Amino acid sequence: MKLHIQNNFTAELPADPSEINIPRQVQEACFSYVEPKKPSNPSLIHASVEVACFLGLSEDDIHSEDFLNTFSGNVIYPGTKPYAMPYAGHQFGNWAGQLGDGRAINLTEVLHNNASYTLQLKGAGPTPYSRTADGFAVLRSSIREHLCAEAMHYLGVPTTRSLSLILSGDKVLRDVMYNGNPAYEKGAIVSRVAPSFIRFGNFELFASRKDHDTLQLLTNYTIKHHFPDIKSEGVEKYLDFFQTVTQTTLDMIVNWQRVGFVHGVMNTDNMSIHGITIDYGPYGWLEDYNPDWTPNTTDNQHKRYRFGNQPDIALWNLYQLANALYPLINDAKPLETILNAFSTDYQKKYLNMMRNKLGLKINKDEDPVLIENLTELLQLIETDMTIFFRNLSDVQKEDALEIALDRIKEAFYNENDGSESVLNNWHNWLQQYIDRINQETITDGERKQFMNGVNPKYVLRNYMAQLCIDAADKGDYSLLNELFELLKKPYDEQPESQKWFAKRPDWARDKVGCSMLSCSS
Ligand code: AMP
Ligand code: MG
């Protein structure tokens, strides 16, 4: 197995002089060298051939001893020196001080086809940033990360990628619901791939310590290696950087809202400066359309990270990044200008995205009202978001209202639930919608094709991930393989997989792992 390695991050940025692997505060350093813990009996569960391929690896490589050794942390790849990064962050709105890669270890950078990627193991043992935790990850959460990261990519949502899922052969103790019932679970290691794993929190750390030198080194490094399109100098350079992060973050959130993804823990340490989805913890997918829903039981009370709040939280997090970069800019005005544009930009992009979901190519003044009426209506009775939008593409210009309603009814969790007034509301909305699509020049067939490229047929519903986890815990990975293949083509009709185009089964409504997840991982 041959990787074209590169170690820019460690070569150009200040290292922690200590290599003692115990939890501690680390000053004036962007990383600490640390070795993964050797797993006792590693075995490969699954790998993404596509990710391997863009790293320059073949299918044969995936099944090699080298691969297993490297991506389980068993053997350090020649010429590399793994490291963990310190970062800080605001967690659930509160300043949390130094956090860092507590169970993530960066192996190296890889250069292939002119693109550079950082490889990172998650769950490969403790680092100086593990605080009171063990540095490991369980199979349950590792499956969720591996499957979802790849599913998001195929949905067209910017994300970190997942190369492999490996069982460590070690047991890990977890109290899943934090209710005093710890139990041993299988340990696992995911190898994640991204341009870098630098987060808003990396900048917040140095700013909070008034370590402006390291802040500047890190920011210059980040721009030089990861934002090569930024050609400006001095203050302008930092503003362009902030502007770009704002833009890509916004685009990521629009995509989350499009597919019904709820991240669950949008702390600033979980925000990538690349505008890619990172840290798949207690995330979830909207089943019935409910903007107030969050899967994260830790956030049950305030629901800070609920679906409908994600755009506002992204902006809140960008404020924290702006504060962190401020010492390099020393002028709040231009930062505020960028931040102030966020909400109007978001509204514009959201509107466009929703127009696409509805198959509307022409912009009409009445569209915002049509969309608002719809999102209110979707909440009146439990209505499955994915099924609704997918089936809406079957509505035709000449449809009678009853027929149009029949086409979308499958999305209602209880088809008899609709009181007369709800059905009346649906009739009204469908009438507006049919009138509206009659103003379009595209045919019913063209609209359906267009909508089906925007509204996925298959998403990783929470219960699907849980079924997969239950089987994998018993050593059966067939469902994992099946779901991985299914989710590679989320917009395609896959008649043989129609069973996954279904509403959440009743047993999954309140089941742990299906609609309720804790941060335990
Ligand atoms: P998260 O909520 O997963 O984003 O994690 C927040 C912080 O806790 C990060 O600094 C993680 O590295 C750290 N962390 C989470 N789980 C563990 C673990 N099992 N061992 C060590 N650190 C952890
Ligand atoms: Mg995290």
How far, in Å, is the centroid of ligand 1 from the Cα of 83?
A: 16
Pair (82, 20) in one structural domain: yes
**pLDDT (tens digit per residue) in 183-225:** 999 999 999 999 999 999 999 999 999 999 999 999 999 999 9
CA–CA gap between residue 459 and residue 32 (Å, rounded): 38
Ligand 1 atom 2 nearest Cα: 519
At residue 510, what is the residue type?
D
pLDDT at 421: 86
pLDDT at 110: 98
Ligand 1 atom closest to residue 134's alpha carbon, by position in its atom list: 20
pLDDT at 329: 98
Token pair of 43 as six digits: 């075995």
**pLDDT (tens digit per residue) in 40-71:** 999 999 999 999 999 999 999 999 999 999 99
How far, in Å, is the centroid of ligand 1 from the Cα of 429?
A: 46
Where among 306, 338, 356 does a domain terminate?
356
How far, in Å, is the centroid of ligand 2 from the Cα of 25?
A: 18
**Nearest ligand to the C-alpha of residue 100?**
1
- Positions annotated as catalytic residues are 269
- Is residue 507 domain-resident? no
Where among 331, 356, 381 does a domain terminate?
356
- Is residue 57 domain-resident? yes
A 10 A CB-CB count for 356 gives 16
Q: What are phi and psi of 393, to 5 degrees?
A: -70, -10
Are 393 and 294 contacting, i.e. CB atoms less than 8 angstroms apart?
Answer: no
Pair (193, 57) in one structural domain: yes
How far, in Å, is the centroid of ligand 2 from the Cα of 269?
A: 6
pLDDT at 51: 98
Q: What is the average pLDDT value for the chain, to the nearest integer?
A: 97
Ligand 1 atom 6 nearest Cα: 99
What's the domain count of the chain? 2
- Is residue 512 domain-resident? no
pLDDT at 515: 80
- Secondary structure string (H, E, C) spanning 356-418: HHHCCCCCCCCHHHHHHHHHHHHHHCCEEHHHHHHHHCCCCCCCCHHHHHHHHHHHECCCCCC
368-389: average pLDDT: 97
Pair (160, 215) in one structural domain: no
Q: What angle is formed at CA 43 by the lines to CA 40 and CA 45, rounded to 5 degrees?
A: 140
Pair (118, 232) in one structural domain: no
Ligand 1 atom closest to residue 269's alpha carbon, by position in its atom list: 4
484-511: average pLDDT: 96
Pair (212, 188) in one structural domain: no
- Is residue 376 domain-resident? no
pLDDT at 417: 65
**pLDDT (tens digit per residue) in 77-112:** 999 999 999 999 999 999 999 999 999 999 999 999
The answer to pTM > 0.85 is yes
pLDDT at 299: 95
Pair (172, 47) in one structural domain: yes
Pair (268, 332) in one structural domain: yes
How far, in Å, is the centroid of ligand 1 from the Cα of 460?
A: 24
- Is residue 408 domain-resident? no
**pLDDT (tens digit per residue) in 426-477:** 999 999 999 999 999 999 999 999 999 999 999 999 999 999 999 999 999 9
pLDDT at 513: 87
Ligand 1 atom closest to residue 100's alpha carbon, by position in its atom list: 10
Residues with CB under 6 A from ligand 1: 99-103, 129-130, 133-136, 265, 270, 279, 281, 519
At residue 58, what is the residue type?
S
Residues 6+ apart with CB under 8 A from 352: none
Pair (115, 130) in one structural domain: yes
pLDDT at 415: 74
130-148: average pLDDT: 98
- Is residue 410 domain-resident? no
How far is residue 165 CA from its own chain's centroid?
Answer: 17
Pair (171, 96) in one structural domain: yes
**Nearest ligand to the C-alpha of residue 103?**
1
A 10 A CB-CB count for 253 gives 25
Domain that holds residue 102: 5-197
Ligand 1 atom 22 nearest Cα: 102
Where among 318, 334, 356 does a domain terminate?
356
Give yes or no for residue 3 having a pLDDT over 70.
yes
- Is residue 367 domain-resident? no
Q: How many CA atoms lie within 13 A of 350 on its CB side?
A: 19
pLDDT at 516: 83
Give yes or no for residue 418 having a pLDDT over 90.
no
Pair (152, 216) in one structural domain: no
pLDDT at 384: 98
- Is residue 447 domain-resident? no
Are 418 and 387 contacting, i.e. CB atoms less than 8 angstroms apart?
Answer: no
**Nearest ligand to the C-alpha of residue 125?**
1
Pair (232, 250) in one structural domain: yes
Pair (73, 42) in one structural domain: yes
- 296, β-bridge pairs: 517
pLDDT at 510: 85
